[in-house]
Structure 1
Amino acid sequence: MRNIPIALAGGVATLAAGAAGAQELNLICSADVVVCERLVTEFEASHDIAVNMVRLSSGETYAKIRAEARNPQTDLWWGGTGDPHLQAAADGLTAEYQSPMLEELQDWAVRQAEISDYRTVGVYSGALGWGYNTEIFEEKGLTPPQCWADLLNPELAGEIQIADPNSSGTAYTALATLVQIMGEDEAFEYLRALDANVSQYTKSGSAPVKAAARGETGLGIVFMHDAVAQAEEGFPIEVVAPCEGTGYEIGSMSLIEGAQNPDEAEVFYDWVLGADVQSIMPEAGSFQIPSNVNATPPEAAPDLSEITLIDYDFAQYGSTERRTELLARWDDEVGGVGVE
């Protein structure tokens, strides 16, 4: 991996040992903590920049960045669903940046940058679905659900976990997906019915399938790659793509407006979009589709061409007005306190 030049006042310097002043980067990572830690380790091994990393869910990160808008404590936000990244862009909380790496990215990743006026960019993609514990289902004689409608089966009472959409980008994607598939009123009718089968609304989007893997619940509604990760670790998890169709995420990355370390943030931004970096992600249990066209996709990643994907409206459902409206209605009609 290479040191990337960064623009400094008075000229250009490389990130080499001995540069004047300690260089650091304040990073929020909204992916699985193992992936976050792997990225930090790889970056610090090839750059003279110390990374202060915090792992927060997408919703938590958006709230933190918004609360600190007048005095940003974060330089860069990597990962998590694209909707809150788009909301942050619309609110002016993130900075415009056109990376020289854009020409190497998938069309969907570039489109994410374009609709945000280059205030965010796609870093990976993955479809929504669920994973269920085959041993629990067999032991209890439960019918494995293949469609969204199947999740309302009364025999699944207390067997389902999903995250709280206020804190989790995964759960917000599920909410927006159902609205787009069914219509808003019908989707909320569905969610109220589903609530009877939900044992817990978690804070983290991947927590439900991890609970299913541990045998603490029967099924977790998550991004399919999170379910694949549990299956690849040897847990009895079967991965399902809903028969009616499903939404998907464009995991995104954003520079924070007014960041304390903008140059270091741009270095990380360009580095993490590289094919070599994205190709090592499966080693950390990441099974999303990478955004760099030259990166090697994980062999176990769900094949998006074999999944019925809806025409997800990222611009509308990533807007501040629409997100606020849907989350307020979810609070009023469904509820749930996010706990890990």
Structure 2
Amino acid sequence: MLNRRRFLGTTAAAAGVATFGGRMALADDAILEAARKEGTVNWYCSLIQDQAARPLKAAFEAKYPGVTVELVAGKASELFLKINDELSASRLQADVHHGGSTAAKLLAQGQLAAYVPPAASAYPDDMKDPDGFWTAQVVSFLVPAYNTDMVSAEEAPKTYDDVLDPKWKGAIAWATSMTQGGPPGFIATVLELMGEDEGMAYLRKLSEQQIVNVPANQRVVLDQVVAGEYPLALCTFSHHSEISKGKGAPVQWIPLEPKVTTTADPVFLMKDAPNPNAGKLLIDFIVSDEGQEVLAKAGYIPGNPAFRDPAHNPPAVSLSPSFVGDNIDTWIGIYDELFK
């Protein structure tokens, strides 16, 4: 059922990058000079603006005076449509964009440029594309979460089998987001962990739990758990729970055993970017130590594991954009059959 091609990344191709003593080196001065001549980089960005996007913009512009970041903000789906409209009109404005589902679609269309930033050499294989088309700027861990006023730590499920306990029937919610960060990603992880036959048997049993399909995103579902509308949710993001818990909310995420799901939010350069050198410079910065520190301070989970809190970095099945692009229709079909 599953096409396992490029499930986990392998060593990235160093497109345009020379290697010296095992370290990737780049003609930084040449790119910086060309970027300053371009003067602008158009960053189509769905990161939370005040929390992450604007701090990254400010830090980049402070480091590289003479290159201005033009932020084009919006939801990932809206920005993908905008890029497609620009491509259809042969008037592409986007230089740099991000997102797992978007990367898979644009890769299939042949619209991404291969570019390996120097910092990618420090990233594990599943955090970069084997052909050099993207590097993970942040990741998300897809996990269950529960309301701590309604469920004790002892009662909370610890394993996938625990989720099948009859006490959870009709009490579990998840978002109807048909992306790798929603039910399709959960389905993919079950099939990877258990194999096709055992995994499908598990999913059929899970469907008997009468999971509530909430027509909203993962953040909204978690807010409903916090409000006590549901005691337990699947397919929430761990960093959302951490942010809410830090503000006093009664919520806790669960590192479901043996592994949860992780999805990369890859940053990438458009093939026909109007400002390709400024785009490369921005990507360099985002995945560099400086950029990863900005994202970590913003409450995101950095793509570089060296900047992650070990307590918030559970064992995980990694779903790369290419693997998602190859298989998401299959996972959605399983969702439609069993859970819709």
Q: How does 1:111-122 map to 2 (within 5 A)?
A: 112-114=128-130, 117-122=131-136
CA contact (8 A) 2:114 2:132 kept: yes
Question: Does 2:248 match 1:234?
Answer: yes
Superposition deviation, residue 32 in structure 1: 8.5
Return 5+ residue gaps in structure 1 as ranges: 336-340
State how far apart, in whole Å, the 1-side matches of 2:49 and 2:185 are: 17
Give the distance between the partners of 2:157 and 2:132, measured in 1 at CA. Answer: 40
CA contact (8 A) 1:164 1:201 kept: yes
Judge which range, 224-233 or 24-33, deviates more.
24-33
Aligned pair 1:172/2:184, yes or no?
A: yes
- CA deviations 1:86-129 (Å, max 9, x no partner) are 453244232211223323x222356x221xx1111122345332
Residues 276-321 of structure 1: per-residue CA shift (max 9 Å, x gap): 22113233222x244174xx4347x5143xx4x34x464773233x
In structure 2, relative to structure 1, the CA distance for the partners of 1:26 and 1:242 (3 Å cut) is same
Distance 1:55 1:66 in 2: 14
- Give the one of 304, 318, 323 matched to 1:317: 323
Write out aligned runs for 1:130-279 (5 A).
130-137=144-151, 143-167=155-179, 169-182=181-194, 183=196, 185-186=200-201, 188-190=203-205, 192-194=207-209, 196-202=210-216, 204-221=217-234, 222-279=236-293
Q: Deviations over 1:5-24 (max 9, x none)?
A: 5649xxx3463xxx68x624
The yes-or-no answer on 1:94 pairing with 2:115 is: no
Deviation at 1:252, TM superposition (A): 1.5
Matched, 1:51 2:70: yes
Shift of residue 220, structure 1, vs aligned partner:
3.1
Asked whether the equivalents of residues 158 and 199 of structure 1 are also in contact (C-alpha less than 8 Å), the reply is no
Alpha-carbon distance between aligned partners in 1 of 2:305 and 2:159, rounded to the nearest angstrom: 32
CA distance in 1, matches of 2:328, 2:80: 12
Residue 91 to residue 175, structure 1, CA distance change in 2 (3 Å):
farther
Structure 1 position 327 matched with structure 2 position 325? no
**1:327 partner amino acid:** I
Q: 1:121 to 1:191 in 2, by over 3 A?
A: farther
Secondary structure of 2:161 counterpart: helix
SS of equivalent residue, structure 2 residue 132:
coil
Which of the residues 307, 312, 316 maps onto 1:302?
312
Task: Tell me if the contact between 2:170 and 2:211 (Cα under 8 Å) persists in the aligned partners.
Answer: yes
| 2:251 partner letter | I
Task: Measure how far apart 1:200 and its partner are.
Answer: 1.1
Is residue 127 of structure 1 aligned with residue 141 of structure 2?
yes
Give the drift of 1:270.
0.7
Write the letter of the residue equivalent to 1:317.
F
Q: In the alignment, is the contact (CA less than 8 A) between 1:165 and 1:327 conserved in 2?
A: no
Separation in 2, partners of 1:13, 1:63: 29
Alignment of 1:108 onto 2:122? no
Asked whether the equivalents of residues 41 and 95 of structure 2 are also in contact (C-alpha less than 8 Å), the reply is no
Q: TM-score when scaled to structure 1? A: 0.73
Percent identical pairs in the alignment equals 18
Amino acid at match of 1:54: A
Distance (whole Å) between structure 2 residues aligned to residue 60 and residue 333 of structure 1:
29
Find the residue that maps to 2:72 and give its secondary structure: strand
Could you tell me how far apart the structure 2 residues matched to 1:187 and 1:85 are?
A: 30
TM-score normalised to structure 2 length: 0.73
Structure 1 residues 96 and 225, CA gap change in structure 2 (3 angstroms): same
CA RMSD across the alignment: 3.5
C-alpha distance in 2 between matches for 1:14 and 1:26: 14
Q: Contact between 1:161 and 1:219, CA under 8 Å: does it hold in 2?
A: yes
Q: Which of these residues, 28, 43, 56, is aligned with residue 26 of structure 1?
A: 43
Given residue 270 of structure 2, which amino acid in structure 1 is its aligned partner?
I
Does structure 2 retain, via aligned residues, the 8 Å contact 1:6–1:264? no
Q: Does the residue aligned with 2:243 lie in a helix, a strand or coil? A: helix
1:204-234 alpha-carbon deviations (Å, 9 max, x no partner):
3443223323444323332323322322232
Alignment length (residue pairs): 305
| Closer/same/farther in 2, CA of residues 206 and 313 from structure 1, 3 Å limit | same
Q: Give unmatched runs, 5+ long, in structure 2.
A: 1-27
